[in-house]
C-alpha cells in the first residue's frame, strides 16, 4: 500500500521567478544507467511527492537554496565535464526544471534526467536522456506509476526497476512482457540495498535470460551513502 503522499511545498511549484530550489550541485562519477562511470555534475533539486520505502535521498525532501536557472548552468559549466545529471528528489515536481534541462542542452552538455516515473515526461527536451523509474509493489509507491509515460520512451531513455524482493522481481518480469519494455528502451534492474542481495538478483536474471541490464550503484560501492558523492 502507498504511504501517505507528501506534498511538494507550494512555494516550490509556484514561485514566479526563473529560479529552482536546489539541495546540492556536485561533481562525482555517474553511479548508474548507461553513462555509469563518467565524471558527471549532479544537480539535485529539492522536494519529492513520493516516499519510497528505500529512499536514500530523504535529505532532499526539504530545505534547499533558491538558484537562478542561468546561475545553475554557469555552475555546471564551471566544473569542466561533459555530462550533467538532473536528479532529486523528484526534479519534475518543480515545473521550471524543464527550462533548466533545455538550457543545459543548449550549452552543449550531455544531459540526463532521473525521475520517479510519477509525473508527465512528455515536455522534457528531446535531447535529454530520461532515466524513468517504474515503482515496484515493495517500493510502497507503485500506485504512483504514470503508465502513460511508457509509450513516450525511446532508445535514448532507460527504464529502471529497483527490486526489493522475489515478488517484486516476478512483478517486474510481468511488466516487461505486458508492455513490451525491452523493445522500447534499455531496462535496468537494481537490487534494493539490504533487501535483496546483488548476487541473488544477478542469478535470477541469468536463470531467466532476461533482456535487462543488471546494475549496482557505483557511487554506493565507492562512497556508501555519503551525500554529495
Ligand atoms: S522518488 Fe526518489 S527521491 Fe522520491 S521518495 Fe522515491 S526514491 Fe526518494
**What span, in angstroms and rounded, lies between the C-alpha atoms of 80 and 70?**
16
Atom of ligand 1 nearest to the CA of 51: 5
48 lines ligand 1 (CB under 6 A): yes
193 Cα to the center of ligand 1, angstroms: 14
Which of the pair, 2 or 42, is modelled with greater confidence?
42
pLDDT at 221: 84
pLDDT in tens, 102-145: 999 999 999 999 999 999 999 999 999 999 999 999 999 999 99
CB of 153 within 8 A of CB of 159? yes
Q: Quick check: pTM over 0.95?
A: no
pLDDT classification of 41: cutoffs 50, 70, 90: very high
- 16-223 has which fold? TIM Barrel (3.20.20)
Scanning the structure block, which residue is given the C-alpha cell 562525482?
28
What's the pLDDT score for residue 193?
85
| Residue 71 CB neighbours (<10 A) | 14
Instruction: Find out whether 169 and 163 touch, Cβ atoms under 8 Å.
Output: yes
Q: How many whole angstroms from 135 Cα to the centroid of ligand 1?
A: 10
Q: Average the pLDDT over 57-77 and give the result.
A: 97
Ligand 1 and 91: CB distance under 6 A: no
Tell me whether strands 129-133 and 158-163 are parallel, antiparallel or unpaired.
parallel
In this model, does residue 16 exceed pLDDT 70? Answer: no
- Angle between helices 198-208 and 166-178 in degrees, nearest 10: 40
Q: Is the dihedral of CA 67, 69, 74, 75 positive or negative?
A: positive
Amino acid at each position: 500500500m502507498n504511504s501517505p503522499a507528501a506534498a511538494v511545498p507550494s512555494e516550490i511549484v509556484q514561485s514566479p521567478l526563473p529560479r529552482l530550489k536546489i539541495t546540492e550541485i556536485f561533481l562525482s562519477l555517474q553511479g548508474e544507467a548507461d553513462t555509469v562511470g563518467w565524471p558527471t555534475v549532479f544537480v539535485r533539486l529539492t522536494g519529492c511527492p513520493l516516499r519510497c520505502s528505500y529512499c536514500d535521498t530523504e535529505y532532499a525532501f526539504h530545505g534547499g537554496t533558491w538558484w537562478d536557472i542561468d546561475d545553475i548552468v554557469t555552475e555546471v559549466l564551471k566544473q569542466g565535464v561533459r555530462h550533467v545529471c538532473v536528479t532529486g528528489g523528484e526534479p519534475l515536481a518543480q515545473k521550471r526544471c524543464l527550462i533548466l534541462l533545455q538550457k543545459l542542452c543548449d550549452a552543449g552538455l550531455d544531459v540526463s534526467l532521473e525521475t520517479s516515473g510519477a509525473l508527465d515526461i512528455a515536455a522534457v527536451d528531446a535531447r535529454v536522456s530520461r532515466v524513468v523509474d517504474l515503482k515496484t509493489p515493495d517500493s510502497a509507491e507503485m500506485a504512483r506509476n504514470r503508465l502513460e509515460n511508457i509509450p513516450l520512451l525511446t532508445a535514448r531513455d532507460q527504464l529502471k526497476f529497483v527490486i526489493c524482493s522475489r515478488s517484486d522481481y516476478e512483478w517486474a518480469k510481468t511488466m516487461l512482457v505486458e508492455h513490451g519494455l525491452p523493445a522500447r528502451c534499455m531496462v535496468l534492474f537494481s537490487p534494493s540495498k539490504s533487501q535483496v542481495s546483488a548476487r541473488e538478483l544477478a542469478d535470477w536474471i541469468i536463470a531467466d535470460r532476461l533482456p535487462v541490464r543488471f546494475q549496482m550503484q557505483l557511487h554506493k560501492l565507492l562512497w556508501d551513502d555519503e551525500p554529495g558523492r
